[in-house]
Amino acid sequence: MRDIEVIEEPAAAVVALDPMRARLLAELREPASAAALAAKVGLTRQKVNYHLRQLEAHGLVEVAETRTWGGLTERLLRATAAGFVVAPEPVGAPTRPNPRSADFLIALAARTVREVGRLARRAAAGNRAVPVFALDTEIRFATPADRAAFADELTAAVSKVAAKYHDEQTPDGRWQRVVIGVHPRP
């Protein structure tokens, strides 16, 4: 089971966002049968089975185990991930990318979710790791001028480090994307 799965297909997102199906996904962090889930969520086994088939059709749950009891086969299902994120798909793009606009940061974050989600899915299928790095920190600025100076210095520092390690000619080199975002803490 993966920690996070990115849902890109709109139909799969609709299925996963249904309140009952979302609850079933949460319950299926551990394998369970339709009968066991029915007792937990207060629905009939048949209704739970219907919801499970919808989740399974979109790859959100999978068979973890089957048990045979006197000629009957019981399927134990589990979620394919502990958590799910619906990939944001912006309609259009910012007309004038401005590195200091909220719209541009949102578009970059959406692209990051889609791209890293696809890479993670492919890597998991091949039993490989994705070469990523993430940094998360908080900073408190005394003034708006300090925030602007920080943005300028950070841009210069990242540009200097990128120029130091960038090699466009290496035949086996691998392109990487660097995204840095700064926003007010909610």
Residues 6+ apart with CB under 8 A from 48: 24, 34, 37, 38, 41
At 156 the three-state DSSP class reads helix
Question: 39-60, pLDDT tens digit by residue?
Answer: 999 999 999 999 999 999 999 9
Which domains are present in the chain?
Answer: 2-84 (1.10.10.10), 87-165 (no CATH)
Question: 141-177, pLDDT tens digit by residue?
Answer: 999 999 999 999 999 999 999 999 999 999 989 899 9
Answer yes or no: are the C-beta atoms of 124 and 81 closer than 8 Å. no
pTM (whole model) above 0.85:
no
Answer yes or no: are the C-beta atoms of 6 and 117 closer than 8 Å. yes
Percent of the chain's residues with pLDDT above 70: 97
